[in-house]
């Protein structure tokens, strides 16, 4: 540890430049600056995914077009494609930041390629990037709806796009009635749960730690939303299987983190040994659920029963929802 750093209450090391403001604002500003290379990488990944989706739509190989045949023009639907691309980079970054968080809070690996402090910094910067990518995904979807709703006046066009994208329960078409609120839930939980870190000196480290645990819910909602609504993983084919498979390392690390937490206070001792019975049972149930998820994921991948639809020979023309009319 260098002389200009000090460990905070989680063992994280805070550079001198981030230490000054008791209000935490400098720490957030410092992390935002540190997230720049990470965010640049995310933009590059998003651009590559966008180019890939654009080319597939242009070539007629797009699954999005197979689900919604009217979308066979990438020049018109480029904002929708960009929203999808931000969705994928957001999910990839969410995967990475959750894996880093679980590595930090679970059993300490004997050897790490980088120091714990570096891992902690990566966890914070990737989580900031994830929030930005999730927001960009939702905003591009709203922008596409503004473009799409040509039959109404501008004020209503803006309102409908905003409400469909950001007001839970407003979007009223098909699978989106469930999938969109799941995505909104993930976005609306991610932002406070991620940013609370920067005010943890006000709310107390224990309160922050207790709340921060619920970040796993954000991740589960994001994956659920994608499996339910992503047209590029709509059919029961390998991209969908790969998405399920990617969840296995997360579930294994979560199980290990619960069974062997880094913080001794979180270890599950024998029943009645210092922890109140209801709390002990709740914690034991959490571990059982995590083990069941690992088994469930293996079963899904091995059995290939992954909830994917069969690709029909002929697709009816569908729209994401009917255009609004005055």
Spatial neighbors of 61 by CB under 8 A, at least 6 apart, are none
Considering the complex, what minimum distance in angstroms separates the CB of residue 316 from ligand HEM?
16
- Quick check: helix, strand or coil at residue 315? coil
Q: 14 has which bridge partners?
A: 6
Which C-beta is closer to ligand HEM: that of 183 or that of 308?
Answer: 183
Q: Nearer Cβ to ligand HEM, position 120 or 144?
A: 144
Rounded Cα distance, 134 and 91, in Å: 8
Q: How far is the CB of 226 from ligand HEM (least distance, A)?
A: 4
Q: Which is nearer to ligand HEM, 71 or 293 (CB)?
A: 71
Residue of 323, 314, 235, 326 whose CA lies nearest to 69: 314
Q: Compare residues 161 and 290 and give the one whose CB is closer to ligand HEM.
A: 161
Identify which of residues 13 and 187 has a Cβ nearer to ligand HEM in the complex: 187
> Closest separation between CB of residue 221 and ligand HEM, Å?
7
Report in angstroms the alpha-carbon separations of 157 from 70, 82, 202. Answer: 21, 20, 41
Decide whether 30 or 101 has the Cβ nearer to ligand HEM: 101
Query: CA–CA separation, 221 vs 237, rounded Å?
Result: 22
Q: Is 170 exposed, middle or buried (0-12, 13-18, 19+ CB in 10 A)?
A: middle
Nearer Cβ to ligand HEM, position 159 or 280? Answer: 159
Nearest approach, Cβ of residue 11 and ligand HEM (Å):
28
Please report how close the Cβ of residue 173 comes to ligand HEM at its closest, in angstroms. 10
Which residue ranges make up the site for ligand HEM (CB under 6 A)?
64, 84, 87-88, 90-91, 94, 134, 137-138, 141, 165-166, 180, 183-184, 186-187, 222, 225-226, 229-233
Residue whose CB is less far from ligand HEM, 102 or 227: 227
Torsional class of 255: left (φ above 0), alpha (ψ -120 to 50), beta (otherwise): alpha
- Shortest distance (Å) from residue 73 CB to ligand HEM: 15
* Distance in Å, CB of 46 to ligand HEM, minimum: 11
CA dihedral 218, 221, 223, 226 (to 10 degrees): -130
Classify burial at 2, counting beta carbons within 10 Å of its beta carbon; exposed 0-12, middle 13-18, buried 19 or more: exposed
Comparing CA positions, the residue from 234, 62, 54, 39 lying closest to residue 134 is 39
The residue among 68, 313, 225 whose CA lies nearest residue 76 is 68
Strands (E), 10-88: 13-15
For residue 64, the minimal CB distance to ligand HEM (Å) is 5
């Amino acid at each position: 540890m260098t002389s200009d750093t000090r460990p905070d209450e989680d063992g994280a090391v805070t550079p001198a430049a981030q230490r000054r403001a008791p209000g935490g604002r400098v720490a957030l500003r410092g992390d935002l600056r540190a997230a720049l290379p990470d965010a640049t990488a995310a933009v590059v990944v998003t651009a590559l995914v966008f180019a890939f989706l654009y080319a597939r739509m242009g070539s007629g190989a797009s699954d999005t077009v197979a689900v919604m045949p009217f979308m066979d023009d990438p020049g018109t639907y480029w904002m929708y494609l960009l929203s999808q691309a931000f969705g994928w980079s957001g999910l990839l970054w969410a995967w990475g930041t959750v894996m880093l968080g679980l590595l930090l809070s679970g059993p300490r690996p004997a050897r790490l390629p980088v120091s714990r402090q570096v891992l902690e910094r990566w966890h914070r910067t990737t989580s900031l990037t994830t929030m930005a990518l999730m927001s960009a995904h939702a905003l591009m979807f709203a922008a596409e709806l503004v473009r799409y709703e040509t039959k109404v006046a501008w004020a209503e066009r803006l309102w409908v796009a905003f409400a469909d994208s950001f007001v839970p329960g407003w979007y009223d078409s098909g699978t989106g009635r469930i999938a969109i609120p799941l995505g909104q839930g993930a976005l609306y939980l991610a932002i406070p749960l991620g940013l609370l870190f920067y005010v943890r000196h006000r709310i107390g480290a224990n309160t922050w730690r207790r709340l921060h645990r619920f970040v796993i819910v954000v991740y589960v909602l994001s994956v659920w939303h994608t499996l339910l609504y992503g047209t590029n993983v709509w059919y029961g084919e390998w991209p969908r299987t790969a998405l399920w498979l990617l969840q296995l390392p997360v579930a294994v690390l979560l199980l290990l983190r619960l069974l062997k937490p880094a913080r001794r206070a979180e270890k599950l001792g024998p029943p009645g040994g210092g922890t109140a019975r209801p709390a002990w049972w709740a914690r034991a149930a959490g571990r059982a659920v995590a083990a069941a998820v690992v088994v469930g994921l293996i079963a899904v991948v091995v059995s290939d029963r992954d909830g994917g639809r069969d690709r029909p020979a002929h697709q009816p023309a569908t729209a994401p929802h009917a255009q609004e009319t005055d």
